[in-house]
Chains A and B, each alone.
Chain A
Amino acid sequence: MNAMLRETESATPLAAHGLAHCYEGSSVLSGVDLVLEPGSVLGLVGRNGAGKSTLIRAMLGLLKPLTGETTIFGEPVLSLSDSTKARIAYVPQQPDALPWLNAQQMFDFVSRFYPRWDKAFARQTLERWQIQPHKLLAKLSPGERQRVDLIRALASQPELLVLDEPAAALDPVARRELLREVALRAGESGTTVLFSTHIVSDLERVASEVAFLHQGHLLMRCSVDETKERYARLWLPARMSAAAPTASLSRRRHDDGSLSLVVERDAQGQWPEASKLAGARVDALGLEDLFVEIAE
């Protein structure tokens, strides 16, 4: 039983349990559990300051959380072996590493450490994205810097790709290209991708699952398709607010007394009773609307 467990654990790209962390006296993460399935693309959504970066860094062993532990491919994340490190790639927000090298030198240097480095991909992508390979990294714009670091991560052919706000500094064309690349990799090579963002529309394209992080708590975790099918906004006029269902993800009362609730389909796939009343309205929710409703 143990051996079987261990084997399944070693295939799990990332498994975090009970992560909690404090920063300058205030709690940044509390009791976060997260497990990634191989080949899935998980989008981590949260407001600025919700703790996305801290969560990612804690899960990669870049900081020591107050409590909780994470394993990557079965190994505890604070003592990863070299072979496991070669299967991971991480791109921080606004990368600023090795600014005294140019892109060519940086790729040259990093490629020596990763056995599966794809040199041709790195060169071609630099050309395609029109980044000068012999310009010092410090002299590149933030968007170009981000793209160089993304190429660095992708060229090492990782099995687990972790991106912290990868699209923040990119223009829409560059963003689309990044999503394309990530999507194709996930689909074809079975790369597991975790990326955090607050641009929700990107998630809807590429992510297979989404997790909402709000004030350090993991509010919700489900597949992207499910969020559109399982949740909806129920609007009840003022005179019917008494009939509002008690179980709802969020509840808001408007100035004229009407109620907006985010409700969930029950086990039989039915909306709550109140939706069948005359005058009630059920609106489908996009991911962004869902997030705004929950995070407010």
Chain B
Amino acid sequence: MDASLLNIQPTASEPIYRQIVEQLRRLIAGGQLAHGELLPSVREVAGFHAINPMTVSRAYGIAESEGLVERLRGKGMAVIAMQQTAHSESQRLALLEPQLQALARQAHELELPAAPVLRRLTRLLGD
């Protein structure tokens, strides 16, 4: 994997380490990162994006603890991609969590009750 694959937005409201973890999660789930593929070193990522290496190592640590990657002695971080079908429904649902939360929040702000939103959503999902 190349460090340029990550897209870092320092000014976004999401902390950088969280952005890295999310992007790694999506890349792995989407199949762009194969099982066993080595992640770029902390130095490479930090150097490419001009960010603090500690941020990168924090992100890698979180990814490791979530089971996305594992540390191979002497080589670095390697991707653990689970089979598509092995993804439990709850894990796949967890990927949608941010969008669902955003939807809920916006509905709240627009002062919409749950029923019409759910009706529309069901209709969209039904297609």
Residues of A within 8 A of B (CB): 39, 41, 176-177, 179-180, 183-184, 186-188, 201, 204-208, 224-225, 228-229, 278-288
Contact = CB atoms under 8 A, between A and B. Distances in A.
B46 A184 contact: yes
B102 to A, nearest CB: 11
B94 to A, nearest CB: 19
A225 B52 CA distance: 12
Contact of B10 (A41, A205, A278, A281): A205
Contacts of A184: 43, 46-47, 53
A186 B53 CA distance: 8
A225 B18 CA distance: 9
Given A201-B10, A279-B109, A206 B17 contact: no
Contact of B52 (A207, A279, A285): A207
Interface string B29-41: 0000000000000
A228 B15 contact: yes
Given A41-B52, A183-B50, A288-B11, A225 B109 contact: no
- For the residues of A in contact with B, the DSSP-based class is helix
Interface in B1-26: 10-18
Contacts of A188: 43, 53
11 contacts: A184-B53, A186-B53, A186-B54, A187-B42, A187-B57, A205-B51, A205-B52, A206-B52, A225-B16, A228-B13, A283-B13
B51 A229 contact: no
Interface string B83-117: 00000000000000000000001001101000000
A187 B111 contact: no
A74 B67 CA distance: 42
- For the residues of B in contact with A, the DSSP-based class is helix
A177 B13 CA distance: 24
Nearest to A278: B111
Nearest to A39: B54
B109 A183 contact: no
Contact of B15 (A177, A229, A280, A288): A229
Contact of A180 (B10, B12, B50, B108): B50
Given A205-B16, A278-B111, A284-B13, 19 more contacts: A39-B54, A180-B46, A183-B47, A187-B46, A187-B52, A187-B53, A187-B57, A205-B10, A205-B52, A206-B52, A208-B52, A225-B17, A225-B55, A228-B13, A229-B15, A279-B111, A280-B108, A283-B13, A286-B13
From B16, B55, B57, residue with most partner A Cβ within 10 Å? B55
Nearest to B112: A278
B109 A280 contact: yes
A206 B13 contact: no
A183 B12 contact: no
Interface in B47-93: 47, 49-55, 57
A176 B54 CA distance: 18
A39 B52 CA distance: 11
Nearest to B14: A228
A208 B50 contact: no
A247 to B, nearest CB: 22
Given A41-B52, A278-B111, A279-B111, A187 B13 contact: no
Given A201-B10, A280-B109, A282-B105, A224 B15 contact: yes
Contacts of B18: 225
A229 B14 CA distance: 8
Contacts of B109: 279-281
6 tightest A-B contacts by CB? A187-B53, A284-B13, A204-B10, A225-B15, A180-B50, A179-B50
A278 to B, nearest CB: 5
Contacts of B10: 201, 204-205
Contacts of B108: 278, 280
